[in-house]
Amino acid sequence: MAQATAPWQLSKKAYHAGVKALRKDLVQMQVQLKASPFKVLLILAGPEGAGRGDLLNTLAGWLDPRGVETFSFHEPTEEERERPLMWRYWRSLPACGRIGVYAGSWYTETLRAEARGKGALTQLAHEAARIRHFEKVLADSGTLLVKLWLQVSKTAQGRRLRALHADPLTAWRVTDEDWQHHQAYARLAKKAGRILAETDRPGAAWTIIDAEDERARDLVVGRLLLGRFRRHRLAQLRLAAPARIRAGAKTAARPLRPAGLRRLQALPLDQELSTEAYEAKREKWLGRLNRAVRATLAAQRSLVFVFEGWDAAGKGGAIRRLTSAIDPRYYSVIPVAKPTDEERQFHYLWRFWRQVPRDGRVAIFDRSWYGRVLVERLEGFCRADEWKRAYREINDFEQQLVEHGAIVLKYWLHVSHDEQLQRFREREGIIYKRHKINAEDWRNRAKRPAYEVAVGDMLALTDTAEAPWHLIPANNKRFARLEVLRSACRQIEEALEG
Amino acid sequence: MAQATAPWQLSKKAYHAGVKALRKDLVQMQVQLKASPFKVLLILAGPEGAGRGDLLNTLAGWLDPRGVETFSFHEPTEEERERPLMWRYWRSLPACGRIGVYAGSWYTETLRAEARGKGALTQLAHEAARIRHFEKVLADSGTLLVKLWLQVSKTAQGRRLRALHADPLTAWRVTDEDWQHHQAYARLAKKAGRILAETDRPGAAWTIIDAEDERARDLVVGRLLLGRFRRHRLAQLRLAAPARIRAGAKTAARPLRPAGLRRLQALPLDQELSTEAYEAKREKWLGRLNRAVRATLAAQRSLVFVFEGWDAAGKGGAIRRLTSAIDPRYYSVIPVAKPTDEERQFHYLWRFWRQVPRDGRVAIFDRSWYGRVLVERLEGFCRADEWKRAYREINDFEQQLVEHGAIVLKYWLHVSHDEQLQRFREREGIIYKRHKINAEDWRNRAKRPAYEVAVGDMLALTDTAEAPWHLIPANNKRFARLEVLRSACRQIEEALEG
């Protein structure tokens, strides 16, 4: 943890001179930031009386408010409670080029629970791990995290609280809880120290700000923000150099885990299934799935289906059979295409966090976040370190869904190269299916070997106990559709029993 | 109300032949729609047993699910209850080029309340007016609304409910409420008829679908959708013709209501105010405003501030003084720039609906929806009929906010042409303010006479009792800031008393 202090108590005159220079620089910073492919998160934490609110106001005065968003978090809303813990923070994130100032943040609830003595040790460790992961994901994707702990002595805290309390304009800001916290200053400082230590990581380090002198505090924070921004910007420019990106592209077609590729290639694809046998079994499994889904939703849990597969592998058909077993009022199919301009301003997982279903709902993703380790890996839309990191990020994302109570079902629909060719040709022959085939599909087809490697790695690295992959042989469409229903039933029934 | 029926009971064979042709056409339709600057909303309503769910499933099978979103609405969530009634529907809207299928819609709650006998007549009239307005806004902006009422006889309804109930797979779909509604068939049909009549308007007309024969029902709906799309698309193409747009641009600089322009030009601008007098008064009004805002938020009401004004009129400074009186955890400043790609896929009000604050929060808009009748009017970003319609749409939007309990405060900061020139020159001289001035600002400045006309019309046409405009003389920055604080206090205090 770094420490940032002003070397002396600042005179009013020195302060104003300092502010004048700083404001120019901060505004210049915002102009540069606006054109930069990253965002800045300024996280303010610290005990009552350390002046978070005043600092926030000072910063609001210094910065161009058009580039700043201020956040604070109170009790989670119903919609927030019905999703994993971190959903509310994901949805708050500002776009690239902007500054998010967090007066309250993902630390607030954890710190408050600790202060009340409510946080069990295991709970704290768990929450700290969640936070570490969240901040790592952000830092890895280029976000500048400036985490500040405003430090005041117990004496100064008491003085500030009394001053606020004495002034009728600010008396409302001092609550009973604040006085209790003041009494327990030493104990709370120790607890906060532990949380800080647990979440002090490269790319997401805490800086302790001496907040005894208010003017010095504000000036130190302003200068620190500026310095961190400048260093970060240079580092990001180096990272985005074309040579680095080209170097990464070479490794894209080499497997990380050959076992996954072997598993994919060993899958038997040509099952027999008569129309009659299919129809009889389909009715049986649709009925069973319908009951299983209803039981899940009645238990206020959610279902997340992920469909991936080769072009023309029959994802659409499988989804339609699946949805025919679910009350249409409770599911939504989310087709995933190239990210929009707005989505490109965020982490690749952001647009999927946005779509995380509420408790008691079903989300069916027609393609998904796995695009990161498939098309984005192979087409060079991201650097090698980015897609290599994505496996762990994805596992963690899915784990958060499962921890919250969601059941995550993932399907890879596998067809042979020959079968795909035949389907492409058929589609071109059917007028109302012709739009489904375009030049890009043919290009992707030509890259099958590289895609097989990427699919293999995906299967090997993201087939977790919480969110297993179902590898579906799909040369026979009927068989594939049945397999999807069957395995969905089994996974859901198991999850409900477990 | 139109009526659409199949002329005879359809044989299975005729049905399948019909479906085959229809599916091709529907997929073609979706391909065309994808490239069109409008969206399609298909609203399905009707009594239980009329087959809304089955029809939905059929359509899901016919359409490419990647271009379709299905909606249904249940009890409003906490976040929805904390905003005006229509917020949940605004946020559900699909983007241009897509189809939204509404299995439940803005009619659901109204119909259900009526069925339960809970809806008072005045309440019904009010809700119908809300719905009519919402659909008019959508239709006027080019949305194709296909509103279908599935009609079944009481006998057929009973038969369907019994069949659903007898099958263990579908028994869950039949609720006690359904049986009660079946008993009250005649009464409910009459009530529904009234709601339909109240909301049957050009551009948002109902079509009654004979739903006795299930195959005929589905085929009729598919064909109707197709026919409506084709006609609508041609009409939209004609509307977007360049000649029409050019013709509209000519009227942009002529006033609709000269009284507004006169009011603007009559405003005295050069008030005197010493720094000392300003500082003394500022403290007084800041304190009073702080109390008024806290009382508002404690009453779980929200505040919506709108700042408009000439470039360099001092909006930013006024906002900063205003925010210094508010706890930073409860407000957010929303800078409004050109719409993003995503926002352009929606009605111009959509992005502001997205930002409507929850109860107990403050939203401060730095520029706003008034861009429609200022920059968009004058720069030809919309047609004349569009900006002319916007005054009423905006009034209605603000009225919805106020009805929900929000206090809406609108400011026009007015500086003279000379004062603006001086400020532009000053800004160019101060390094950290230089970015605030660009070529566009100079271009806008040159168009001052036209902008004055537009501002005058805005003042004349949107200065409502619910959401009054405060015209702020701003040649003297201190005076302007004080005026904002003073008028905000007064309006809020009045609203709290009222």
Smallest CA–CA distance, residue B168 to chain A, in Å, is 9
Give the tens place of pLDDT for each residue, A424-453. 998 888 766 777 778 888 888 989 999 999
Q: How many CA atoms are closer than 13 Å to the CA of B264, on its beta-carbon side? A: 29
Number of neighbours of residue A121 by Cβ within 10 angstroms: 8
Torsion sign (Cα): B354, A147, A82, A329: positive
| Cα dihedral A190, A195, A198, A203 sign | negative
Q: How far apart are CA B348 and CA A7, in angstroms?
A: 52
Q: What is the pLDDT of residue B44?
A: 95
pLDDT on residue A246: 63
Q: How far apart are CA B265 and CA B126, in angstroms?
A: 39
| A431 neighbourhood in chain B, CB within 8 Å | 24, 28
Which of B259, B271, B181 minimizes the C-alpha distance to B483?
Answer: B271
Whether A432 and B25 lie within 8 Å, measured CB to CB: yes
Mutate to test the interface with B, among A432, A485, A489 (most CBs of B within 10 A): A432
| Cross-strand partners of B209 | B4, B150
In this prediction, residue B86 carries a pLDDT of 94
- Kindly report, residue by residue over B80-94, the tens digit of the pLDDT: 999 999 999 999 999
Give B257 to chain A, closest Cα distance, Å: 33
Give the number of residues written for chain A: 498
pLDDT at residue number A244: 60
> Read out DSSP for A335-356?
E--SPPHHHHTS-TTHHHHTTP
Give the burial class of B415: count Cβ atoms within 10 A of its Cβ; 0-12 exposed, 13-18 middle, 19 or more buried: buried
Partner residue facing A169 (CB), from B66, B173, B290? B290
pTM of the model: 0.82
The pLDDT value given to residue B6: 58
B132-138 contacts, C-beta under 8 A, 24 or more apart? B132/B198, B132/B199, B132/B201, B132/B204, B133/B396, B134/B86, B134/B89, B134/B106, B135/B199, B135/B201, B135/B203, B135/B204, B136/B201, B136/B203, B136/B204, B137/B347, B137/B349, B137/B393, B137/B396, B138/B41, B138/B93, B138/B204, B138/B347
Predicted pLDDT at B69? 87
Rg over CA atoms, chain A: 27
Instruction: Look up residue B295 and give its amino acid.
Output: A
- Report the C-alpha gap between B287 and A171 in whole angstroms: 12
- Which pLDDT band holds residue A245 (cuts at 50, 70, 90)? low
pLDDT digits (tens, 9 = 90+) for A136-154: 999 999 999 999 999 999 9
A·B CB contacts under 8 A: 131
Does residue A421 contact residue A316 with C-beta atoms inside 8 Å?
Answer: no
Is B64–A24 a contact, with Cβ atoms under 8 angstroms apart? no
From B61, B79, B330, residue closest to A78, measured CB to CB:
B79
Q: Which of A453, A458, A357, A445 is nearest to A401 (CA)?
A: A357
Residue A77 DSSP symbol: P
Which pairing describes strands B2-4 and A40-45: parallel, antiparallel, or unpaired?
unpaired
Q: What is the pLDDT of residue B396?
A: 96
How far is Cα B361 from Cα B294, in angstroms, rounded to an integer?
Answer: 10
Strand partners, A4: A209
pLDDT band at residue A340 using 50, 70 and 90 as cut-offs: confident
B316 closest CA partner among B174, B172, B209, B427: B427
pLDDT at A119: 58
Flag if A432 and B104 touch (Cβ within 8 Å).
no
> Which residue in A29, A94, A98 sits closest to A65, CA to CA?
A98
Q: How many CB atoms lie within 10 A of CB B251?
A: 12
Q: Which pLDDT score is estimated for B260?
A: 94
Residue located via tokens 């890895």: A140
How many angstroms separate the CA of residue A430 from the nearest CA in chain B?
9
For residue B205, the SS3 value is coil
The DSSP code sequence of B341-353 is: TTGGGS-TTHHHH
A340:B335 CB<8 A? no
A432 vs B contacts (CB less than 8 Å): 23-28
Residue B144 is which amino acid?
Answer: L
Q: Over its length of 498 residues, how does chain B's per-residue pLDDT go in tens digits?
A: 777 765 557 788 889 999 999 999 998 999 999 999 999 999 999 998 888 888 988 898 788 877 888 888 878 888 899 999 999 999 999 999 999 999 889 998 888 887 777 656 778 888 899 999 999 999 999 999 999 999 999 999 999 999 989 988 678 778 888 899 999 999 999 989 999 999 999 999 999 999 989 899 999 999 999 999 999 999 998 877 766 666 656 678 899 999 999 999 999 998 999 999 999 999 999 999 999 999 999 999 999 999 999 999 999 889 988 988 887 778 888 989 888 877 888 999 999 999 999 999 999 999 999 999 999 999 888 889 999 999 999 999 999 999 999 999 999 999 999 999 999 998 888 766 777 778 888 888 989 999 999 999 999 999 999 999 999 999 999 999 999 999 999 999 999 997
Cβ–Cβ under 8 Å, residues B463 and B469? yes
> What's the alpha-carbon Rg for chain B, to the nearest Å?
27
Cβ-contact B430, B231 below 8 angstroms: no
Buried b (16+ CB within 10 A) or exposed e, B135-170: bbbbbbbbbbbbbbbbbbeeebbbebbeebeeeeee
Distance in angstroms (rounded) separating the CA atoms of residues A383 and A377: 8
Contacting residues of A for B79, CB less than 8 Å apart:
77-79
> Looking at this predicted complex, what is its ipTM?
0.72
What's the pLDDT score for residue A68? 87
Place of tokens 């059979």: A321
Cβ atoms within 10 Å, residue A469: 21
- What's residue A6's pLDDT? 58
Helix, strand, coil percent values for chain A (each to nearest 5): 60, 10, 30
In the DSSP assignment, the letter for residue B412 is E
For residue B263, the distance in angstroms to the closest alpha carbon of chain A comes to: 30
Output the CA–CA distances (angstroms, integers) from residue A236 to A346, A350, B136, B232, B376, in the order listed: 16, 20, 49, 49, 37
Which residues make beta-bridge pairs with B201?
A: B204
Six token digits for residue A461: 């690295």
Chain A residues with beta carbon closer than 8 angstroms to that of B66: 316, 333, 335, 337, 366
Interface test with B, best of A329, A333, A341 (most B CBs within 10 A): A329
CA–CA gap between residue A229 and residue B375 (Å, rounded): 35
Is the Cβ–Cβ distance between A66 and A102 less than 8 Å?
no
Residue of A nearest to B365 (CA): A66
CA distance B113 to B108: 9
Give, for B115, the enclosing helix (H) or strand (E): helix B108-115
